[in-house]
Structure 1
């Protein structure tokens, strides 16, 4: 690793072209080994709730939450250093720090992967690797109140940015902050801020944060928008991938890429002491939910952001199933049960509910050729509507004899977002985060 030295700063786009569009392969990521469909669904329910708890109750000493890797997510591969070292990272819109397993001494306790088989970033093998100094403005991205105790204007400060330690309910990661070169085909971005984690417990094998914070990949690249199309989860653990697009181009070409999208504005959550992690989330204004032609009776106070920054709806690529507070999910589940039991004569599959952790579940004939589920529609601020396909909210279980609602709830605490729209909801949707115009765009399309 290069020794700590004084840093100089260049504007990113004085050396990086002002107009560009980058495409990165995006692949489903799933680390659970069991083939039992009931255990697998139960596993996804548990991990989605664990993730939701972390999003609602960020317990960190930095500004970003961290979460378990033991659920279905989506990964990208990024190359750092000189010469480049390629690392697969979880693509996460619910956090902003980019970090990877780092150094030959990296250790991960109780993780869902083997440290010996995980690609590690080795700073000593990169000529562009530098430790972030305490006086570097980027140090405040993870340590807003960091103080350089041994530095004063008259001396040559050699103090490094304090190591980051991120705690959460069941694990942690810790390391040091680096300035590195991020490499894309035919382009390099120097002085890129990354986390070099040397110890972790119950964590992913690295995260690429796409949230709204300064340390996120979109923020550091200063892109106008990014977009992705999530493959169906039936492609878990395959070589199939779909594109993730980082777009800083404007004009007709950019508008053509966005053709056919419907938009809803982002809603900002104010930063407030002790809970600043909420500010990195992408909030959208969900106004109502309908099942069939009936509006679900949800008190509006559970859909809106209150004055203290609690409540509201976020979209999160790192959560698998959609998670709702019980005050929202219970009337939604009741409406499904009313329409499926009373109108279609399906009975509850209580045994399947116990095995999977999903509810309600319904007994259906394995010989049913066309199961018609009620239309689930989300109505957003600005008039945008999302008709969720049945395969994105209803799981056909086992041999096809039961089907379950893939919306979950649990003891998540009273703070934070009320609704977390997980990645299963967005399978086979093209989703665009327009950061310049502060809006979310989407349209249904096959991502395969």
Structure 2
């Protein structure tokens, strides 16, 4: 039966189990249940604490997990699912498979450090530990871009989606129906990676809402924030995770080479960021097809250990500032008005990064309130993700699906994209509710 025609009977069913920035899509096919994405939640405390609770039963019905990218919003719950007893194959692109030990291993260490310093109300244990990551990684089976993998009556294919090494759209064909999961979409002008592959035809499209587009004035605004801190005799801290750290350090290198900012010490206090850069260098050496030929990632200036007693640039994850080593730097730098904090992208509401962007006068870090006296500068995206117009153009360049579901975004951009798909292309576009189940 060809794509676009209906299978006899109800066909596959799809349940939306994730939320903002969190991919968890359970596709029930005639032969197997496939979980696309197994991410962590980000946002207010009530949402963040869901990561510390057992996974919903639907996740445990999955016969296999498919990871669209290495980001925690796509992969971060996998070790906990494995710790709860799930066993099955995990499929990912080679790039994602290379980055998983970096991203998940660092997340496990950060969770353990956070619990040691301060445990919020609830179980005094992290969601998962390093040994859970090791067990999860043993289940991963890499699948090359553009190849077809058979899965108990279903067919799996990955295509480049951009935005990060290994990031992919996922096409699953089963029961005479085809579903494509795509997003977040990388920008066509990404400084390091090639543009996304065209969207394949499908009966159903699950499309991530657009991210905040890159700002062509961002390097200048970043440089201005650094100069202000240097004049005050302070340092700048930038919350950034793997992927974002690569672009940030490349921008810092370019600004220093152009003498638009002074040559300051640069501290990358992120094992995930450092290892991510090593993976990128290996990708350059091995000539991965995802990379632009002129894409070159900068490395930090060799600084390690404690922050020096002079103006510096400190890069540490997570970008939401809800966990990890960045909290230690924020606790140290925020009370001093000489320092600066630079926020990139559009942080999810309720996160510490969002509180800073909204002008919060204090942050609660490891059980203590820290006054915010440092200058906070909120900038746009670094240009790795596509904005609304680019997402719309990419989606509508291929014939319309029967239904498109806009996911993973805040309500406003999600509904705006759904409205644009309907108004400009005549699509049936829906923003699903968490837990909603539909037939494909």
Q: Give the TM-score band, short-chain normalised.
A: under 0.3
Larger proportion of helix: 2
Greater Rg by CA: 1
Question: Normalization by structure 1: what TM-score?
Answer: 0.27
Larger proportion of strand: 1
